[in-house]
Amino acid sequence: MTARSVPPASRLSEPFWAATRDRRLVVAWCADCGGVLGYPRERCPSCGGSAIEWRPASGRGRVVAATTVHRNPDPAWAGRAPYTVCLVELTEGPRLLSSPPLGHDQAAVDVGTAVEVAWEPLEDGRAYPWFRPVPGGIPREDGPQVE
C-alpha cells in the first residue's frame, strides 16, 4: 500500500498546488471573458484570452457521477479496493475527480450528493483535495467562501 501519488506541479499549475499547502482550493478564471478554465492552460478555451486569475473557490459542489472501484490493475491501488471515485462539479463550474484518503469511509456516494473539500496531506507538503458529503446538503444560494 503506497501513498497517493501526485505529479509535481507544472509551471501553469504551480499556484493551484501552492495554495494546497495552506489548504486553500483555488480555481483558474479568464480575466478577459470571466469564464472558468477548469485546469489551467495558456489560453482560455472559451475566448482565447491569456490572462489567468487564480481565485478562491467555495470548496463546495455536487457529485455528477460516482463509481466504487472493486478492481484496479494498478498495483498502487489494487490493495485499496473497494474505494469510491466521484466526479465532482464545483459550484464555480469546473469538474474534478476525487477519492477519499485511505482509512476514511469508502462507502458509495449517490449522484447528486452535496460535497465539500477536505485535504489529504502529501509527503511534500502539498495536499490533495478530496470531497466528502456535507451533512444536510448545501443551500443552492451558497456563494464563494471567504478566505
Partner 1 sequence: VAGASGVFRGAAAIVGAADLASPTGSLDRTARAVEVEVAYAALADAGLRLDDVDALFTAGGGLHTVDLAEYLGIAPLYTDGTRIGGASFEAHVEHATAAIACGLCEVALVVYAETPRSDAQAGLTRDLTANLGDRCREWELPSGIPLPMGAYALAASAHMARFGTSPEALASIAVTTRRWAAGNDRARYRSPITVEDVLASPMVAEPLHRLDCCVVTDGGGAIVLASATRARDLRHPPVLVLGAATAHTHLNVSQMPDPTITPGALTGPRALAIAGMSVDDLDVVELYDSFTITPLLALEDLGFCAKGEGGPFVLETGLGPGGRLPTNTSGGGLSYTHPGMFGIFLLVEATCQLRGTAGVRQVPGANVALAHGMGGVLSAASTVVLGSEATR
Residues at the interface with partner 1 (CB under 8 A): 4-7, 10, 13, 38-39, 64-74, 77, 80, 83, 85, 87, 95-99, 108, 110-112, 128
- By beta-carbon proximity to partner 1, the closer residue of 31 and 108 is 108
- By beta-carbon proximity to partner 1, the closer residue of 47 and 97 is 97
Q: Contacts for 123-128 with beta carbons within 8 Å, 24 or more apart?
A: 123/3, 125/21, 126/6, 126/9, 126/17, 126/20, 126/21, 127/20, 127/21, 127/23, 128/4, 128/6, 128/20, 128/101
Closest approach, Cβ 146 to partner 1, in A, equals: 26
Closest approach, Cβ 50 to partner 1, in A, equals: 19
- By beta-carbon proximity to partner 1, the closer residue of 70 and 146 is 70
Closest approach, Cβ 89 to partner 1, in A, equals: 9
Closest approach, Cβ 15 to partner 1, in A, equals: 14
- By beta-carbon proximity to partner 1, the closer residue of 110 and 141 is 110
Phi/psi of residue 43, each to 5°? -125, 140
DSSP result, 111-132: TT-EEEEEEEE-TTS-EEEEEE
At residue 135's C-alpha, the angle toward residues 133 and 136, to 5°, is: 120
